[in-house]
Amino acid sequence: MQGNHIRIRGSFPNGKKFTFCPQFTFPESEGECEWVFMGWDEYSGLKLKVSFSAPAESPFLLWKVDLINTSLQEVTLDEITLLEPSEANAPNLSIKENQDLNQFAFFANGWQSWSSSGAYLSGSRMRRSNLGLLQNPMVINPGTPEYRTRGVFSGDFFGVIGDLDSRRAILLGFLSQKQHFGSVSADLRSRPNLRLWANGDETILRPGTGVSTDWAICCPIRMDDPEPLAPYIDAVAREHAIGTLPPPPAGWCSWYYYYENISPDIITGNLKRISSVRERLPLDLVQIDDGFEASPGDWFAFKPRFPNGVAPLAREIRADGFTPGLWLAPFILHPDSRTAADHPDWLLRKKNGQLARAGFGWNSLSVALDLTVPDALEYACEVIDVAAHQWGFPYLKLDFLYAAAVKCAYHDPTRTRAQVLRSGMEALRRSAGRDTILLGCGAPLGSVLGLVQAMRIGADVSGSWRPFFFGMGFPFKKEPHMPSARNSIQNILVRAGLHRKWWINDPDCLLVRPDSRLNPDEVRSLATAIGMTGGSVLLSDDITKLPDERIELAATLLPPMQENVQVLDWLDAETPQKLRIDLNGPIGKWHVLAYFNWKDLPKETALSSADFRLPEDDYWVRSFWDQRVWSAAKGNKLFHGRLGPHYSLLLAVRPAREAYAVYLGSSLHISQGLEIDEWEEGINSLSIKISPGRSTQAKIDLFLPKKPGEAKFEDKPVSYKKLNDRCYRFEVDISQHGRLNLNY
């Protein structure tokens, strides 16, 4: 931490700028310490306190800045820099002489749900949108620069810089975003350096008043740990007192087939079909999405297709045994909405008095509520209260939440964008009550921590692999934040570690219908990413038209896996390719591995146990999507073959043991093992209790030390066939659960 300083930038009422750089040395973070520096800047009148803490039980350094305006005039705060080189463009990273800077990488976390996140190798450029005003207000924090230069990167809330040779990294960020939106940048060119700052948002600090930053954090990371970011993620969870989270929902959402063209008949038609296939596809949530309201912002007026509103649908959904869910966007409005026309004083504006725009939506440049206007906040809270407690929706998806924090001039100029959004979300939570499930979407991550039980962590999915808009694909092909399966998967993978720590990850919907632009391999890759990372599983097709084989594909993800996934190349690749889950149950220990070909061309692929950090051994390998089984002797590849474009491998890998029966996997669940409740092996017998929690035809694959004789499932004879040397496949009709008994 040597060679760094803290800097405060701002201005006076006459527009004159000031910079305050207190002179002190950052403490070393070895061992437990508490340390405070006090300072005062005569020119600006700012009194400063810098507090440092290195907790004994944690391997990181924390620090924060408190400021008090001791002058007799207002000051405007532009930026509070908590770490930067003491000399401009000087290096502030300790690196070895002749170290290969090409082996550095930076992980950039995006501002909000849809903002593209991931690793950048040192010579690459940041992924950027070319849509400007149409999209940037949605996904880019106005206080975080978008760099065009190779080797220079930025991120929000936290970032990680790592050495791919030593496998060591440093995380720099904040524990919360209650006070300010925090930004981090990394220059990985010839003189590597890091910066960390809190966005002041040109807030006014009046005489005698003060402001505090959120706690900054610097944390060493071992890149190859099973949960490399756990020290930071756990510290953030403690900071927000995040307690027990509900299980991930499995359900249906109306959006990605019908979009705004919904009606009560469409909802009830799908509800009836979902009810009729519940034995095969056990869903528990039915969520009505956008399209019921008269206009975004006019939440108490309904489209003519909904003459009775949505409350009757909530009652019908509940009567059929499902949880009713409803989409709302409480902070954003269509500019032509009645609410916007009737209450222009509620709307966010720029310094010049013009409307602050919240990006392109509903074929317009949308506007937003100014939550520092009491009546505007009260209206948003009333919407949530009515939806939860009068209309009867215990599950609310709150979308476009960033809109309250776009670049603007608030009615109350003393509050930062982060403070406004955080307090607004706290008010919504109070209105909803603690028992209502809130799903945040389009939300800056730090603003909703501890306030929502579930959180969208990536871009919207769509029925196209790459972005496709207005009937065109090519102009949007490289847009990193736009709806598409590929963009959705990007954040599903790189934010997987937040699941069950900060909230239930919502990866967006699984689209399995055969008539989208996604080919079967792309559908399976989306399913693999969602299934391996364990978040919510929501379908969004017309269930009344979904073929049985696509229903079966979706059902194999249920219930969602809750074991930790290891994203093995999270800092080595811009989009990770290798995932691993270690599982344990009545059948013993095994591993589920996933590998993706993100290229647009076929790829010859050879994968070893070392590629997934597994010891060399003799293994049985079972490929889930094509139901193939093979052996991989010690020293041989786990897989060798040609993978098509956008193809995903999903493999169950188990040590091969000749003397005992081995469960190889099934067609029931992507874990290829969690469906087994009991495994009882005798000298010449085997009894297995299988409990998938649904009814279907299943393939059960076993390695047996001897040829099987009699085989019965629920006391009825079952047939089997030999796959290869002592591997057998048993096909059974299962209803929720059953027992397979073998003699050999």
Burial annotation 500-535 (CB, 10 A radius, 16+ → b, else e): bbbbbbbbbbbbbbeebebeebbbbbbbbbbbbbbb
Domain identity same for 100 and 173: yes
Domain identity same for 37 and 112: yes
Q: Of 214, 239, 264, which residue is a domain's last?
A: 239
Surface-to-core class of residue 43, CB atoms within 10 Å of its CB (0-12 exposed, 13-18 middle, 19+ buried): exposed
Domain identity same for 469 and 562: yes
Q: Of 188, 206, 239, which residue is a domain's last?
A: 239
Q: Return the biggest CA–CA distance within the chain.
A: 93
Domain identity same for 488 and 628: no
Nearest to 178 by CA among 447, 542, 514: 447
* pLDDT at 648 > cutoff 60: yes
Residue 521 falls within a domain, yes or no? Answer: yes
Domain identity same for 524 and 646: no
* pLDDT at 30 > cutoff 80: no
The DSSP string of 681-727 is E-SSEEEEEE--SSEEEEEEEEE-SS----EEETTEE--EEEEETTE
Q: Which pLDDT score, from 0 to 100, does residue 2 have?
A: 61
Residue 632 falls within a domain, yes or no? Answer: yes
The domain spanning residue 511 has which CATH number? 3.20.20.70
pLDDT digits (tens, 9 = 90+) for 491-528: 999 999 999 999 999 999 999 999 999 999 999 999 99
Domain that holds residue 592: 577-743
Cα dihedral sign, 540-546-549-552: positive
How far CA 43 is from CA of 20, 70, 626, in Å, comes to 9, 11, 71
The domain spanning residue 159 has which CATH number? 2.70.98
What gap in Å lies between CA 386 and CA 317, rounded to an integer?
Answer: 18
Domain identity same for 511 and 616: no
pLDDT digits (tens, 9 = 90+) for 368-378: 999 999 999 99
Cα dihedral sign, 690-693-697-700: negative
The domain spanning residue 618 has which CATH number? 2.60.40.1180
Four-point Cα dihedral 309, 453, 537, 593, nearest 10: 170
List strands edge to edge, sheet with 738-743. Answer: 676-681, 685-690, 738-743, 711-713, 716-717
End-to-end alpha carbon distance in the chain: 67
pLDDT digits (tens, 9 = 90+) for 136-157: 999 999 999 999 999 999 999 9
* Coil, helix or strand at residue 379: helix
Q: Which pLDDT score, from 0 to 100, does residue 28 have?
A: 64
Q: Of 239, 265, 290, which residue is a domain's last?
A: 239
* pLDDT at 696 > cutoff 90: yes
> What value does the CA radius of gyration of the chain take, rounded to a whole number of Å?
27
* pLDDT at 29 > cutoff 60: no
Residue 470 falls within a domain, yes or no? Answer: yes
The residues near 705 (Cβ < 8 Å, ≥ 6 apart) are 658, 659, 660, 661, 726, 744
Q: What is the mean pLDDT of residues 254-270?
A: 99
**How many residues comprise the chain?**
744
Residue corresponding to tokens 């791919």 = 164
Residue 350 falls within a domain, yes or no? Answer: no
pLDDT digits (tens, 9 = 90+) for 379-392: 999 999 999 999 99
Domain identity same for 613 and 536: no
Residue 571 falls within a domain, yes or no? Answer: no
Domain identity same for 14 and 68: yes
What gap in Å lies between CA 318 and CA 99, rounded to an integer?
Answer: 62
Residue corresponding to tokens 């400007």 = 132
Residue corresponding to tokens 């290798």 = 578
Q: Which pLDDT score, from 0 to 100, does residue 91 have?
A: 79
What gap in Å lies between CA 551 and CA 512, rounded to an integer?
Answer: 8
Residue 332 falls within a domain, yes or no? Answer: no
Q: Which pLDDT score, from 0 to 100, does residue 473 have?
A: 82
Q: Which pLDDT score, from 0 to 100, does residue 55 have?
A: 85
Domain identity same for 583 and 644: yes
Domain identity same for 648 and 599: yes
Domain identity same for 553 and 602: no
The residues near 659 (Cβ < 8 Å, ≥ 6 apart) are 705
Q: Give the range among 7-21, 26-40, 483-497, 558-572 with minimum mean pLDDT.
A: 26-40
* pLDDT at 217 > cutoff 90: yes
Residue 72 falls within a domain, yes or no? Answer: yes
Number of domains present in the structure of the chain: 3
pLDDT digits (tens, 9 = 90+) for 532-565: 999 999 999 999 999 999 999 999 999 999 999 9
How far CA 601 is from CA of 472, 604, 643, in Å, comes to 21, 10, 9
Domain identity same for 81 and 201: yes
* Mean pLDDT rounded to a whole number for the chain: 96
CB atoms within 10 A of CB 225: 12
Would you give the DSSP letter of residue 488? H
Contact 154, 194 (CB under 8 A): no
Pull the structure tokens for residue 500.
Answer: 């069950």
Q: Which pLDDT score, from 0 to 100, does residue 335 have?
A: 98
Pull the structure tokens for residue 117.
Answer: 């996140």
Q: Which pLDDT score, from 0 to 100, does residue 168 have?
A: 95
Q: pTM score, two decimals?
A: 0.96
Residue 419 falls within a domain, yes or no? Answer: no
